[in-house]
Structure 1
Amino acid sequence: MLRLLCRSSAGSQTLVRWARRSQRGGGLLLHGARSCTSSRRCHGTGSGEVNGQPAENGSGNALYRDSVLLPKTEFPMKLTGQKLLDRELQIQQECGFADLYSWQRERKAKNKFCLHDGPPYANGDPHVGHALNKILKDIRNRFEMLRGRQVHYIPGWDCHGLPIELKALGDLGTSGLSPLQIRQKAREFAEGAIARQKAAFQRWGVMADWDQCYYTFDGTYEAAQLKVFQEMHSKGLIYQDYKPVFWSPSSGTALAEAELEYNPEHVSRAVYATFPLVTHFSPGMESVSVLVWTTQPWTIPANQAVCYMPNAQYSVVKRADNSEKRRAELFLHLFPLLGSLLEGGICKHPTIPDKQVPLLPANHVTMVKGTGLVHTAPAHGMEDYSVASQFKLPVECMVDEDGTFNELAGPELQKLSVMTEGNDKVISMLKQCNALLKEEQCVHSYPYDWRTKQPVVIRPSKQWFINTESLKDKAKEALQKVRVLPESARSSLLTMLDRRTYWCISRQRSWGVLIPVFYHKESGEALINKYTVSHIAQLFKEKGSDCWWELPIETLLPPEVKAGAASDYVRGEDVLDIWFDSGASWAAVLEGTFESDSRADVYVEGKDQIGGWFQSSLLTSVAVRNKAPYKSLVVHGFAVSEKGEKMSKSVGNVVDPDVVINGGKGPTEPAYGADVLRWWVAESNVFSDVQIGPSALSSARDSISKVL
């Protein structure tokens, strides 16, 4: 990419050698320097002579042309279309791009540099987000190499999980397929996606040993992951419990916070409902009801309490007669009431005859929204569950895994979807018993399954959890020693940690790393200890995790468990959350790599990993090693359209990196080559969202032409 001017053949050869080293060392972009191949010497001594001979009359142009030695090159001034692509591939091959990583690993270097690759998800074709991330990493790696450091960079892929399983099965579903059959199809799908992504990363000029990558479905990786699991379990950080989790009816599994995306345009049918008071706190309150507001009316049948704020000032009001008040003035104020006076109060449940529920104080109640009196259904809310734990309230689940009411909800509601007709029915029941004061549409942020794009519900389930509450302080302390770029991302990391009291790590799927637990057939008690986990880890290392189904349970149980007891147990079927998969990558890839400190110098990922890989890696590493797995974090923005919009196929603003390089249909999608894609990354402010489109790409091409 550099035009070299030489005054002699000796100088020319020196610069050619430098250019070749630049080609091999890989500067910012793909192409190497243009080389000067001329060996002619300029002997001109001044005006009127050319190579020591007098200039001919009328050859003034020749005077200047022949008296200055200019470099000659086989590179044309401008390449377009297929010729450009052929030349790029030729340069990659002849300059040994594929050998660059191995070459720099073999040279002696006093200092080392490790960029740990966050594994992209093996569920589809390479996209422009991959390009932004991988090229940015490559620029950093090449910069450190040019500084004389030995670079450690092992590319990896996240290979398990629900999205891969769903795509692999397509319209087949899981009906009639064994876990091993599902896993085989999922593995084949993941391997195909990995091959396509790997080929793209190589074409973009990313420096790595592409024959030595890590994959989360490899037995050695799974074994390292189970070692982390065993360490955390032995410390009491991993436990099994029955509590509310985010549940996706569309996926049929529990989800972690990192697997949610919040739809700010979700529309709910919010209601104001009355709970008649049984306890009378003062004269004039014989026919008073407490008024609650909720955006999820379907949870009212599961109500176990109404919570209040002890120090808040409430009001006893009377509904205004429309004939004497304007419609906007719905209530007439009677007298104030301090929240603490509600202590010990009892209400009637609005839709279940003869059921009474207590009034309870709670810290999570606020006056920001609603009425300051919170309908509490412990089975369907995290904060509600905390209240239930404190006051020993029942946690009854009225919702099945498919998102429909079960028999506990009663015959009127059973089999109805809680988010649609079930919700409508509950509102109708409130009307019938005169408990519905008002209904309104509420547009608010609501959690959706990040893959199916469907709403989730909160429902209790017996799952495996990590007690992140006990890890928070250590994680925050470790994070203070980490350099974060941009610094503003640090507060987001800390906020995410604060919000996470526990982490659900079990999934009800087939494609993943099995949780190494056995259950007693009669009691249901879990059998899991250091012997069982270590034994399973060794089997996974040797045979892969498919052996969980392939081997008899007598082989899966370790010698420390008597062989005669094998018939009393069944193997568990839950798999680990993929964020635990990828979060343990430091143990599988970095551990034992360096003599003194097995931390990476840097993790470089998009801002979505603040609540994902950055956090799961931090929590697992702190739990096992009391330190962060990284010395610094670089958090970059997303690739967006030139209008700043999120890319969407339906909108038609998706930029395909393959089309950027090789061209598309028509003159509006020319073949830019890989240099333009790399230049786009190099010149962008990656700490904000990065715009890409025809204008940005054309500008990058023009910039490259100027350098040439």
Structure 2
Amino acid sequence: SLPAESSAENLGFTIYWLFKENGSGNALYRDSVLLPKTEFPMKLTGQKLLDRELQIQQECGFADLYSWQRERKAKNKFCLHDGPPYANGDPHVGHALNKILKDIRNRFEMLRGRQVHYIPGWDCHGLPIELKALGDLGTSGLSPLQIRQKAREFAEGAIARQKAAFQRWGVMADWDQCYYTFDGTYEAAQLKVFQEMHSKGLIYQDYKPVFWSPSSGTALAEAELEYNPEHVSRAVYATFPLVTLPPKIASQKVNVSVLVWTTQPWTIPANQAVCYMPNAQYSVVKRADNSEKFLVATERTASIAALLGTDLQTVGVFAGSLLEGGICKHPTIPDKQVPLLPANHVTMVKGTGLVHTAPAHGMEDYSVASQFKLPVECMVDEDGTFNELAGPELQKLSVMTEGNDKVCFLFDDGFIRPSKQWFINTESLKDKAKEALQKVRVLPESARSSLLTMLDRRTYWCISRQRSWGVLIPVFYHKESGEALINKYTVSHIAQLFKEKGSDCWWELPIETLLPPEVLKKSKAGAASDYVRGEDVLDIWFDSGASWAAVLEAESDSRADVYVEGKDQIGGWFQSSLLTSVAVRNKAPYKSLVVHGFAVSEKGEKMSKSVGNVVDPDVVINGGKGPTEPAYGADVLRWWVAESNVFSDVQIGPSALSSARDSISKLRNTLKFLLGNLQGFDPRLQAVDPKQMHYIDQYMLHLLREYSIKVTDAYSEFDAGRVIRVLQAFITRELSSFYFSIIKDRLYCDAEDSLGRRSCQTVLEEILDGVTRSIAPILPHMAEEVYLHAPGHDKEETLFKSGWIKSSSVWRRPGLEEAVEGACAIRDSFLSSIPGKNAARYDLTVAIEPGLLFELMESLQEEPTSTTSQLAELMMAARVNLATKMPRDLDPEALLNHGTFLINLEGGVIREESAYSIAVTPTSAARCPRCRRYTANSADCLCPRCQSIVSQAH
């Protein structure tokens, strides 16, 4: 027998020495042994690998595949809506993780016969792009149209670089038909969403606190804020003397001040109230060092005493509800008084249990102001300086850098100020959005609570930005009254103009074209000359959130099967898409959500140029400087994505990439072995019917069917990592260690067109086809390369146009599993009797009492003794004797072993535990000089099987 090696795939390509070992005599038989042959290379590295991948993309029509599958008739459809990456930089590994993950699923769905809808898109507007495009120029002296032109050019450059990378990674799409948020048709669809939400009263203009950037001169979304983790807020305690005691405690007649604590001293001038918690307990306390009296929460007394460095004596204790009606003197503005008010946002974690409330500078504060009709006074200008309302001492001082001890506050280039902005009333949408989310499948399920929490946190959504680069809010303002003109007629007209000309026309066209007479008439407005056009643009989250309207509305269901994005989109695109879709259509735009983690370094750290741990996908594919950065090609990058647990953060670095390359190399070895043994085999003409196959071959088809079911299920669950684990287990256990090691004698030494060899080749072709298709979504380049060498199809046909794994229910046969698995149990007993020794040197006697197990073994070996039966092949022994009891003349030196095997047929209806015994003795036969099995009568003779084959050849 050929030597058993750890990888049987290597075997066929390393036995050239087979006929050199014992002199020239063996050369007589060299040509009669059918060794594996294939032009499929064992290894591809460096430039050869890169050239081959690009050649495969060209030859196998990667660029046309998406269009081809869109044109074919398909019963089922699959829609993965692409979240738009931001067009502000080069492609990075985060893009690779996201785009390849999507592509793996799309290619799988296409292979299984579904018509895939996948239109890649880009998010093209926004402050970061505008700032990068302008660079050192700033906006001084530039018109809005000049700014927009520069920003567009910058975005187009980033899109071109990213698109080229996505194509190189093998992502399947029609790259000439993408969506861009700066396209006129997209903007028109977005304005339609805006108009429908406005007509439902969900979009309104108001004066509310929003995050404001003085340096950029615009409102900001929370997603645009960057917090400095090193920043330490300057905290102060401030006293608000009580000028009117709450009625229920007025009898105390004490001079007491309300004590408040804030980390934002600069907001104190804008104070309009002090809030308390109605359900908490409050105390009036007296300082031991100066007899001052404070009102504080009872449970905060000890902490405040420690901080002040003095004892606090309790004068009286009250329920929070008794504080109603109290009025305080404002600490910085003479003659101003502010009320004590109940509020749910007050906590006892820090401070005094009494909260300074400035509606102009806090979201929760604004809610209190709305409830109690408090004024919202803004004392800070757009440039971040106090205005005259703050008083002469503070006017013109920057809240960012100057001011006195009470009001100086540094807040990382961003603070909250009230501004006339456009808002979406998310409060009225929340319940509908939550209800819609209940019908959405979320992977992983743990992300659902984060989605709901993010929804809860958003009380309103500021959608206006004071910039030039974006989709204009289609509003006009009356020159005298300042009243906004916006309705379905004006918005529809502007949307049509944007569709035809793009949104630059907002500046290019005269106001009379933007507001033609028929629109003014329907709007019951005056002349166009009475109005000026608004200058605010829409928040980019509204831009991208409306993508369902621009991309999905033409589809029959108008909902995507799935959205797939990183966890940062829980409060971003996932949410803005949900809110806009629920607002307009009362349904979510997606049936399921897949939330993946971020790409991080191998130490689990965030990637940063300053740290030097950034992994560039271009360097991964094409190689970098020196041997530490080899060219891995696109399939290694794709394997890394597939193998990762994408539901957590995904590590990438030299060891992960090297491991991916090694795994692909082992897989390549297996595929080469399969191809080599299929040389000259045409399944269309020479395939054997499963019913005529050897039992082990039929059994392998059964295992292949099980494998294909597991792989299909894993892909359906977005679990490509499980696909790889199932693949590697199948190759290692079922193929390399088991089937390949058993069949090599039949493959190499049986007659070329014998039933046994053709039976084996039929199965090898099915395995090759099944394994190649199963890895194709992950490794499309290698899969198509294998398919170019594989038998059984026309040369011009490509794998991706020929479907998914073709497993058949015919491959399941009653009794088949039990026959082979029973034999395998006996084989395990046999091999454990001769640990580390060559099974081919031994004869095996198997004794089984009459019954089911004996009948099953008889199906593998009809005669009492054989060197060529299916049972002998499975055992890999020289000879197998099958009997109902041990022979009396058994060699006293024989190694004995016993075992049992549980037969389970017809779903448990037939269950029988059968015992067996085995005896193992060294064979007396000689080694055949051709097949090297111990089945010859003497050392110089061929065994009967080889004698017959050689004589027929001559």
Cα distance in 2, alignment partners of residues 316 and 603 from structure 1: 56
Higher relative contact order (CA 8 A, sep 6+): 1
Offset at residue 310 of structure 1 (A):
2.1
Long gaps (5+) in structure 2: 294-311, 408-415, 663-949
Cα distance in 2, alignment partners of residues 226 and 121 from structure 1: 21
Larger Rg: 2
Q: Do the aligned residues in 2 keep the contact of 1:25 with 1:100 (CA within 8 Å)?
A: no
Cα distance in 2, alignment partners of residues 193 and 322 from structure 1: 66
Query: In structure 2, do the counterparts of structure 1 residues 705 and 80 end up closer, same or farther at CA, with 3 Å as the change threshold?
Result: farther
Deviates more, 1:405-414 or 1:131-140: 405-414
Q: Do the aligned residues in 2 keep the contact of 1:28 with 1:142 (CA within 8 Å)?
A: no
Cα distance in 1, alignment partners of residues 594 and 952 from structure 2: 30
Cα distance in 1, alignment partners of residues 219 and 6 from structure 2: 53
Q: Do the aligned residues in 2 keep the contact of 1:26 with 1:142 (CA within 8 Å)?
A: no
Counterparts of 1:534-683 in structure 2, within 5 Å, are 534-561=492-519, 565-591=527-553, 596-683=556-643
Query: In structure 2, do the counterparts of structure 1 residues 103 and 367 end up closer, same or farther at CA, with 3 Å as the change threshold?
Result: same
**TM-score between the two structures when normalised by the length of structure 2:** 0.62
Residue of 691, 697, 705 corresponding to 2:651: 691
Cα distance in 1, alignment partners of residues 448 and 9 from structure 2: 37
Cα distance in 1, alignment partners of residues 179 and 53 from structure 2: 28
Residue of 330, 333, 336 corresponding to 2:314: 333
Offset at residue 358 of structure 1 (A):
1.4
Query: In structure 2, do the counterparts of structure 1 residues 98 and 323 end up closer, same or farther at CA, with 3 Å as the change threshold?
Result: same
Cα distance in 2, alignment partners of residues 307 and 694 from structure 1: 56
Offset at residue 564 of structure 1 (A):
6.5
Q: Do the aligned residues in 2 keep the contact of 1:486 with 1:634 (CA within 8 Å)?
A: yes
Query: In structure 2, do the counterparts of structure 1 residues 86 and 120 end up closer, same or farther at CA, with 3 Å as the change threshold?
Result: same
Cα distance in 2, alignment partners of residues 571 and 363 from structure 1: 41
Residue by residue over 1:145-168, the C-alpha shift from the partner in whole angstroms, topping out at 9 and shown as x without a partner, is: 121111111111111111110000
Q: Do the aligned residues in 2 keep the contact of 1:306 with 1:373 (CA within 8 Å)?
A: yes
The answer to whether residue 495 in structure 2 is matched with residue 533 in structure 1 is: no
Offset at residue 337 of structure 1 (A):
2.2
Cα distance in 1, alignment partners of residues 642 and 398 from structure 2: 50
Cα distance in 2, alignment partners of residues 585 and 29 from structure 1: 57
Residue by residue over 1:121-161, the C-alpha shift from the partner in whole angstroms, topping out at 9 and shown as x without a partner, is: 00010010000000000000011112111111111111111
Query: In structure 2, do the counterparts of structure 1 residues 29 and 204 end up closer, same or farther at CA, with 3 Å as the change threshold?
Result: farther
Offset at residue 68 of structure 1 (A):
4.3
Residue by residue over 1:343-375, the C-alpha shift from the partner in whole angstroms, topping out at 9 and shown as x without a partner, is: 211111122222221111222222222111000
Deviates more, 1:346-355 or 1:644-653: 346-355
Offset at residue 285 of structure 1 (A):
9.4
Counterparts of 1:69-108 in structure 2, within 5 Å, are 69-108=34-73
Q: Do the aligned residues in 2 keep the contact of 1:25 with 1:146 (CA within 8 Å)?
A: no
Cα distance in 2, alignment partners of residues 26 and 369 from structure 1: 72
Offset at residue 261 of structure 1 (A):
4.9
Q: Do the aligned residues in 2 keep the contact of 1:305 with 1:359 (CA within 8 Å)?
A: yes
Aligned residue for 1:570, secondary structure, equals: strand
Cα distance in 1, alignment partners of residues 346 and 248 from structure 2: 26
Residue by residue over 1:564-593, the C-alpha shift from the partner in whole angstroms, topping out at 9 and shown as x without a partner, is: 6011000000000111111111110110xx
Query: In structure 2, do the counterparts of structure 1 residues 304 and 220 end up closer, same or farther at CA, with 3 Å as the change threshold?
Result: same
The answer to whether residue 455 in structure 2 is matched with residue 474 in structure 1 is: no
Query: In structure 2, do the counterparts of structure 1 residues 78 and 406 end up closer, same or farther at CA, with 3 Å as the change threshold?
Result: same
Offset at residue 70 of structure 1 (A):
4.6
Residue by residue over 1:447-469, the C-alpha shift from the partner in whole angstroms, topping out at 9 and shown as x without a partner, is: xxxxxxxxxxx110001111111
Residue by residue over 1:420-446, the C-alpha shift from the partner in whole angstroms, topping out at 9 and shown as x without a partner, is: 3236463xxxxxxxxxxxxxxxxxxxx
Cα distance in 1, alignment partners of residues 260 and 490 from structure 2: 50
Q: Do the aligned residues in 1 keep the contact of 2:562 with 2:594 (CA within 8 Å)?
A: yes
Query: In structure 2, do the counterparts of structure 1 residues 63 and 571 end up closer, same or farther at CA, with 3 Å as the change threshold?
Result: farther
Cα distance in 2, alignment partners of residues 67 and 413 from structure 1: 101
Cα distance in 1, alignment partners of residues 290 and 223 from structure 2: 48
Query: In structure 2, do the counterparts of structure 1 residues 414 and 474 end up closer, same or farther at CA, with 3 Å as the change threshold?
Result: same
Q: Do the aligned residues in 2 keep the contact of 1:304 with 1:377 (CA within 8 Å)?
A: yes
Q: Do the aligned residues in 2 keep the contact of 1:24 with 1:97 (CA within 8 Å)?
A: no
Deviates more, 1:63-72 or 1:581-590: 63-72
Deviates more, 1:73-82 or 1:597-606: 73-82
Q: Do the aligned residues in 1 keep the contact of 2:12 with 2:36 (CA within 8 Å)?
A: no
Q: Do the aligned residues in 1 keep the contact of 2:329 with 2:338 (CA within 8 Å)?
A: yes
Offset at residue 322 of structure 1 (A):
10
Cα distance in 2, alignment partners of residues 690 and 241 from structure 1: 43
Query: In structure 2, do the counterparts of structure 1 residues 662 and 620 end up closer, same or farther at CA, with 3 Å as the change threshold?
Result: same
Q: Do the aligned residues in 2 keep the contact of 1:486 with 1:687 (CA within 8 Å)?
A: yes
Offset at residue 184 of structure 1 (A):
0.3
Offset at residue 115 of structure 1 (A):
0.4
Query: In structure 2, do the counterparts of structure 1 residues 371 and 73 end up closer, same or farther at CA, with 3 Å as the change threshold?
Result: same
Aligned residue for 1:314, secondary structure, equals: strand
Aligned residue for 2:155, secondary structure, equals: helix
Query: In structure 2, do the counterparts of structure 1 residues 559 and 323 end up closer, same or farther at CA, with 3 Å as the change threshold?
Result: closer
Query: In structure 2, do the counterparts of structure 1 residues 60 and 416 end up closer, same or farther at CA, with 3 Å as the change threshold?
Result: farther
Query: In structure 2, do the counterparts of structure 1 residues 400 and 146 end up closer, same or farther at CA, with 3 Å as the change threshold?
Result: same
Query: In structure 2, do the counterparts of structure 1 residues 23 and 615 end up closer, same or farther at CA, with 3 Å as the change threshold?
Result: farther
Query: In structure 2, do the counterparts of structure 1 residues 316 and 65 end up closer, same or farther at CA, with 3 Å as the change threshold?
Result: farther
Offset at residue 416 of structure 1 (A):
2.5
Aligned residue for 1:548, secondary structure, equals: helix
Query: In structure 2, do the counterparts of structure 1 residues 351 and 404 end up closer, same or farther at CA, with 3 Å as the change threshold?
Result: same
Task: Please tell me the root mean square deviation across aligned C-alpha atoms, in Å.
Answer: 5.7
Query: In structure 2, do the counterparts of structure 1 residues 76 and 705 end up closer, same or farther at CA, with 3 Å as the change threshold?
Result: farther
Deviates more, 1:562-571 or 1:653-662: 562-571
Query: In structure 2, do the counterparts of structure 1 residues 252 and 60 end up closer, same or farther at CA, with 3 Å as the change threshold?
Result: farther
Counterpart of 1:286 in structure 2 is 250
Offset at residue 707 of structure 1 (A):
36
**TM-score between the two structures when normalised by the length of structure 1:** 0.82
Query: In structure 2, do the counterparts of structure 1 residues 369 and 67 end up closer, same or farther at CA, with 3 Å as the change threshold?
Result: farther
Cα distance in 2, alignment partners of residues 355 and 705 from structure 1: 117
Query: In structure 2, do the counterparts of structure 1 residues 228 and 68 end up closer, same or farther at CA, with 3 Å as the change threshold?
Result: farther
Cα distance in 2, alignment partners of residues 249 and 28 from structure 1: 71
Cα distance in 2, alignment partners of residues 375 and 553 from structure 1: 47
Offset at residue 69 of structure 1 (A):
3.7
Long gaps (5+) in structure 1: 1-18, 32-55, 326-330, 427-457
Aligned residue for 2:235, secondary structure, equals: strand
Cα distance in 2, alignment partners of residues 706 and 255 from structure 1: 86
Cα distance in 2, alignment partners of residues 168 and 101 from structure 1: 33
Query: In structure 2, do the counterparts of structure 1 residues 349 and 544 end up closer, same or farther at CA, with 3 Å as the change threshold?
Result: same
Q: Do the aligned residues in 1 keep the contact of 2:273 with 2:358 (CA within 8 Å)?
A: yes
Offset at residue 402 of structure 1 (A):
2.2
Residue of 363, 388, 392 corresponding to 2:373: 392
Offset at residue 392 of structure 1 (A):
2.1
Offset at residue 286 of structure 1 (A):
10
Query: In structure 2, do the counterparts of structure 1 residues 647 and 61 end up closer, same or farther at CA, with 3 Å as the change threshold?
Result: farther
Aligned residue for 1:263, secondary structure, equals: coil
Cα distance in 1, alignment partners of residues 527 and 15 from structure 2: 62
Residue by residue over 1:97-139, the C-alpha shift from the partner in whole angstroms, topping out at 9 and shown as x without a partner, is: 1121122222222111010000000001001000000000000
Question: Across the two proteins, how many residue pairs are aligned to each other?
Answer: 623
Offset at residue 320 of structure 1 (A):
3.1
Cα distance in 1, alignment partners of residues 463 and 9 from structure 2: 45
Aligned residue for 1:92, secondary structure, equals: helix
